[in-house]
Structure 1
């Protein structure tokens, strides 16, 4: 089983009303939530760890998890409100404004760490939940606690404008990268982590030396690259589609990668270090395939396995 650990929120997506005035429509979202939904739709046994409100938006999020077959037994519920992310779309690309103070997701603390079932082989972390405190410390503590026996997958999905204390964030991220087995970053993430003129491959290999067995780098329309601690490199092109918007593209790419590794039987602490170029190429290709479907339609609406 794969457990996704991170934020669930409401994306307020702009949409024209009947009168022609722009309004916002609430869509279930959040980087880690999107990955969990996509994994569930791809047929992978998936669980979710987050803080979820009992307000109307929390009810919407819980219903979406259930509809996609995601186990929410380890969700931590409260009366605090749900995080809202207002989305501004510019030629299909999304910019976010977050309303996240004192919310159900952000207010998690390390004292609330859940006990996980033995069936969980991999944990996936990422998104703004790794920035906002105190929940960032909750997720870091969970990753460090589980790393000795379970596979840790990390996608920081860095939003620099959201970071208030860069030193604290970098220190926390370094601790999580050190225990990660599989790390995914965008080219923008990589340049933020390692400012400078080195190539993306050189920077990715620096991350490999920090702990991960493999580092995946997404490059938008240029495709994706993976480097292995063994020295191998794999490149896969992006699939060409007509883009409606890019909301959830990276999140569903991650789900495609994880689903492929799960199907290949290598998504475990023992097997991932032995991964070969063929399995990794197949994983990147499936990630690109799943992401291509998502960007071809509005919002973070990952495909079901039958659509691929």
Structure 2
């Protein structure tokens, strides 16, 4: 299976009551959690790791994983509250306010890390789980002990959530050196590498260790940079409701395509052809297009594509 390692939280999404008052409704979420759900809905053998609260929110998270066919056997139930992310939308673009002190995610201990067996063929890391401590140190430790498994990383940079930029950059550099595949938005790429041409910056990021760097650029589509050059795929045209979960779904579509074709091996990732990369980028884009066409992080099932 592909084991997705990172945050599970509750997105408090903006709604309006029958009387017209502003309100928030709770939905299972988190960048890495969304990717796990999307993988499960696409029919990929997927697992999820993150300590989850033993309260009513934790029950919602586990129920959502069960519904998508994602195993969470490696995720301990803990007596700590769930992280909450209050979401506001401006022109369909999501902004987040996180409440994360003392939570199941944030206070994860090294003792809660899973033991990886032969059922885990690939690992996915990303999101806010890599920023704070002690959880960030824990996920970085798990990444460092991935063995010869394929590792994909989506740093999903949220500058407003980062309190110690130097420490965050050092952690990401260590994980970039281990990752086989890295997916960044163009905004993430500029935060990591500075100003400049996207293609040059992406190849500079690849020089840090990854075999493959994917850059998503919204309506402009996505490009994959590798040792042999660059492959690209256009975005699927769609009426955008909101962008919640778009990048997370793209990650799942890309991994699903590699899994379908038997490419989730380290040596295979290094030698992917432009044709195989374009097919994987295209599936990621198609899956993300469905997600942005409806409210919230609601990834498609395979028969919807």
TM-score where L is the length of structure 2: 0.99
Match of 2:288 in 1: 291
Does the alignment pair 1:270 with 2:267? yes
Q: What do the CA deviations read for 1:93-116 (whole angstroms, capped 9, x no partner)?
A: 100000000000111123332112
State how far apart, in whole Å, the 1-side matches of 2:34 and 2:299 are: 8
**TM-fit CA distance, 1:126:** 0.2
Q: What do the CA deviations read for 1:230-258 (whole angstroms, capped 9, x no partner)?
A: 23101211111011100000000000000
Select 1:212's aligned residue among 207, 210, 213. 210
Match of 2:255 in 1: 258
**TM-fit CA distance, 1:153:** 0.4
State how far apart, in whole Å, the 2-side matches of 1:102 and 1:155 are: 24
Select 1:221's aligned residue among 219, 222, 225. 219
Aligned ranges for residues 71-150 of structure 1 at < 5 Å? 71-146=71-146, 148-150=147-149
Aligned ranges for residues 161-180 of structure 1 at < 5 Å? 161-180=160-179
**TM-fit CA distance, 1:272:** 1.2
User: Does the 8 Å CA contact 2:287/2:300 hold for their aligned counterparts?
Assistant: yes
Match of 2:230 in 1: 233
State how far apart, in whole Å, the 2-side matches of 1:210 and 1:110 are: 26
Q: Secondary structure at the match of 2:117?
A: coil
Does the alignment pair 1:157 with 2:156? yes
User: Does the 8 Å CA contact 1:109/1:137 hold for their aligned counterparts?
Assistant: no
Does the alignment pair 1:63 with 2:63? yes
Match of 2:49 in 1: 49
Q: Secondary structure at the match of 1:271?
A: helix
Give me the CA root mean square deviation: 0.8
Q: Secondary structure at the match of 1:158?
A: coil
Match of 1:248 in 2: 245
**TM-fit CA distance, 1:265:** 0.4
State how far apart, in whole Å, the 1-side matches of 2:110 and 2:206 are: 28
- 5+ residue gaps in structure 2? none
**TM-fit CA distance, 1:22:** 1.0
TM-score where L is the length of structure 1: 0.98
